[in-house]
Copies of this chain bind each other. A is one copy, B any other.
Amino acid sequence: MTKTTIGIFGGGQLGRMMAQAALPLNIQCIFFEASLDCPSAALGKIISAKSDDALNKFIESADVFSLEFENTPLTDVDILTQKKNLYPPRQALAIAQNRLLEKALFDELNIPVAAYRAVDSLLSLEQAVNDLDLPIVLKTATGGYDGKGQFVLHEKNQIEQAWAELGPAKSLIAESFVKFSREVSIIAVRGQDGEIRTWDLAENHHHHGILSHSIIPAPNSQALQPVAEDYVTRLLNHLNYVGVLTLELFVTEQGLYANEMAPRVHNSGHWSIEGAICSQFENHIRAVAGLPLGSTETLKPTVMVNIIGQHPNCAEVLALTGAHLHLYNKTERCGRKLGHITLMPNQQEQLSDLCRKLAVILPNPLALTSDMCID
């Protein structure tokens, strides 16, 4: 039988888990990545993005292409798409890489977002501060992550300082803050035939700006689920999207507000490897390969906990009932995602108890004990 090869931009843990899902389907993954020792290397050839003529080698080496790195350069994508197909489409990537384009798309599709203004001069920043209630956050339209490339303006007298710091980036966005009670994410997949499937909403908890854990299904989310599905469906169809798309949302008193979208599999969907009939990784691979999508039904309530900075004692983790451990073969470094743990106990009521036990085991407990609100 013919074997499909999928070329993937990036070679981190998302690529690793995509390739794990691809293997039983006899689909081979190959990765375009600077580091030959990346997490995906255990499962497929790495074409070093640093080597001569690397991009052309990569393009020749696979049948169809995808990505796990949302900052994949559009210049590379443009060379690729002259010859081969990329899923998700270039347009989705271009929009996700630019906060102004992203907000404009949410507006166009009537997906609520926090009030914002484009800022490209000191004058337009002053105007934005007048239009929006303080505090506001000023961000570069492109680049920046985990709080980098951002400035929070609490008072008008910070305008000049903010402009001095971020003005050189030229294209900025000023956003109001949204009063939200919690953050959720909806993950969806669209096939080449336009079929769409969505997983249950995840409730996401962060610690120092990094996802610490997700609870699935998000508690008390029955009324939110269809709204979130509607929003992500609008995005998928508008973009003629193929593959997995993630939409992060704020839960507010006025309903769901879009935070941002990620044109890829997402950390808040890792639970689906064990917790859903078909995982985000398998369905992404199926979509990219042009295969029918699998059921996204939740098998059991699940908590996914990130392993950040330091590895736990594996034996202690695996001794927890229904615990699954996923390590990414990465070296320890402060703030680095090294793996994740999926907790899937027999009874829902065991979930909080298990999380408390896990918090004791984790070297970096990620506030698991304090904001654990599962019941």
| Cβ-closest 7 pairs across A and B | A292-B319, A26-B327, A24-B326, A1-B311, A292-B318, A291-B318, A295-B322
Whether the Cβ atoms of B321 and A295 lie closer than 8 Å is yes
13 residue pairs bridging A and B, Cβ less than 8 Å apart? A1-B311, A20-B23, A23-B42, A24-B324, A24-B325, A25-B325, A26-B327, A286-B318, A291-B314, A291-B315, A291-B318, A295-B322, A299-B300
A161 at the interface (CB under 8 A from B): no
Whether the Cβ atoms of A318 and B346 lie closer than 8 Å is no
- In chain A, residues 265-289, which have Cβ atoms closer than 8 Å to a Cβ of chain B? 274, 277-278, 286
A interface residue numbers (CB < 8 A to B): 1, 3, 20, 23-26, 42-43, 274, 277-278, 286, 290-292, 294-295, 297, 299-300, 311, 314-315, 318-319, 321-327, 329, 332, 344, 346
Cα separation A295 to B3 with both chains bound (whole Å): 35
Cα separation A318 to B332 with both chains bound (whole Å): 39
The one of B24, B315, B326, B344 that contacts A292, using a Cβ cutoff of 8 Å: B315
Closest to A312 in B: B1
Whether the Cβ atoms of B277 and A344 lie closer than 8 Å is yes
Q: Is the interface of A mostly helix, strand, loop or mixed?
A: loop
Q: Which residues of B contact A1 (CB under 8 A)?
A: 311, 314, 327, 332
Whether the Cβ atoms of B20 and A294 lie closer than 8 Å is no
Q: Which residues of B contact A315 (CB under 8 A)?
A: 290-292
> A24-B324, A291-B315, A292-B319 given. 11 additional CB < 8 A pairs?
A3-B329, A20-B20, A23-B43, A24-B325, A25-B318, A25-B325, A25-B327, A26-B327, A43-B43, A274-B277, A299-B300
Q: Which residues of B contact A300 (CB under 8 A)?
A: 299
Whether the Cβ atoms of A294 and B323 lie closer than 8 Å is yes
Q: Which residues of B contact A332 (CB under 8 A)?
A: 1
Cα separation A42 to B28 with both chains bound (whole Å): 9
Give the interface centre of A290, A291, A332 by most chain B CB atoms within 10 Å: A291
Closest to A277 in B: B322
Q: Which residues of B contact A23 (CB under 8 A)?
A: 20, 42-43
Cα separation A19 to B274 with both chains bound (whole Å): 17
Give the interface centre of A1, A20, A297, A318 by most chain B CB atoms within 10 Å: A1
Q: Which residues of B contact A43 (CB under 8 A)?
A: 23, 42-43
Closest to A331 in B: B1
Closest to A300 in B: B299
The one of B294, B318, B319, B326 that contacts A318, using a Cβ cutoff of 8 Å: B294
Whether the Cβ atoms of A25 and B314 lie closer than 8 Å is yes
Q: Which residues of B contact A323 (CB under 8 A)?
A: 294
Closest to A17 in B: B24
Cα separation A1 to B277 with both chains bound (whole Å): 32
Q: Which residues of B contact A274 (CB under 8 A)?
A: 277
Q: Which residues of B contact A329 (CB under 8 A)?
A: 3, 26
Whether the Cβ atoms of B327 and A24 lie closer than 8 Å is yes
Question: What distance in Å separates the Cβ of A15 from its nearest Cβ neighbour in chain B?
Answer: 13
